[in-house]
């Protein structure tokens, strides 16, 4: 995968499904509750009134599960839709935020290191985080700052993360060479 200049990239399909799985945990819990009601009816000899009561709560739980999943789909759509990355001629842009938009522009000349970080589960699913360390502003070396900073590209498909990492390190090296000259 090659990264085009000034084109925003979404985080990838695997990331979307992982976000949906994250937001769907409430649905799974509600469905397990409904299943436990039905197992109680099937395995335990209960009076009719209790069976009717459990069937009623099963229907309510199924309705809540559908509602919870619709909410999870909506939140996932919102969250996935607002996370983007873009490389232009001078910097990396990371955009995120559901209710308020937050965009970070990291100039290539300030990028010190770029790391791909994966847990075992993320490796199995083909997703990763990209951690970017930056230095203080090289144009104003006398300004007091606490040193390096870290910025993260949120969970992204591994192929996109690899392409962004490769492009960032190449562009950062070109910028450092230009500054030395």
pLDDT in tens, 96-144: 887 788 888 888 888 888 899 998 988 998 999 999 988 865 555 445 4
Question: Positive or negative, the Cα torsion across 124, 98, 131, 106?
Answer: positive
Where along the chain do its domains lie?
18-79, 85-180
* Buried-state track 53-84, b at ≥16 Cβ within 10 A, e below 16: ebeeebeebeebbeebbeebeebbeebbebbb
Closest CA to 127 of 92, 168, 80: 80
Tell me what the mean pLDDT of segment 42-61 comes to. Answer: 87
DSSP codes, 18-35: HHHHHHTHHHHHHHHHHH
pLDDT in tens, 4-50: 888 999 998 999 998 899 999 999 999 999 999 888 888 888 888 88
Could you count the other beta carbons within 10 Å of the beta carbon of residue 158? 18
CB 5 within 8 A of CB 35: no
Closest CA to 159 of 167, 151, 150: 167
CB 75 within 8 A of CB 83: no
CATH match for 85-180 among 1.20.1250.20, 1.10.540.10, 2.30.29.30, 3.40.50.970 = 2.30.29.30
- Identify the pLDDT of residue 140: 54
Could you count the other beta carbons within 10 Å of the beta carbon of residue 132? 23
- The pTM of this model reads 0.73
CA distance 164 to 92: 9
């Amino acid at each position: 995968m090659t990264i085009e200049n000034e084109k925003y990239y979404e985080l990838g399909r695997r990331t979307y499904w992982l976000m949906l799985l994250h937001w769907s945990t409430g649905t799974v819990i509600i469905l397990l509750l409904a299943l436990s009601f039905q197992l109680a009816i099937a395995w335990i000899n209960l009076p009719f009134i209790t069976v009717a009561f459990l069937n009623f709560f099963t229907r309510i739980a199924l309705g809540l599960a559908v509602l919870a999943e619709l909410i999870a789909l909506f939140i996932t759509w919102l969250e996935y839709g607002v996370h983007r990355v873009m490389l232009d001629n001078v910097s990396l842009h990371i955009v995120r935020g559901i209710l308020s938009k937050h965009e970070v522009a990291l100039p290539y000349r300030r990028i010190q290191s770029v790391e791909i970080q994966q847990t075992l589960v993320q490796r199995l699913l083909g997703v990763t985080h990209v951690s970017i360390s930056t230095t203080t502003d090289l144009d104003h070396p006398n300004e007091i700052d606490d040193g390096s900073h870290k910025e993260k590209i949120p969970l992204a498909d591994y192929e996109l993360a690899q392409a962004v990492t490769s492009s960032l390190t190449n562009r950062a090296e070109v910028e450092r060479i230009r500054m030395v000259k």
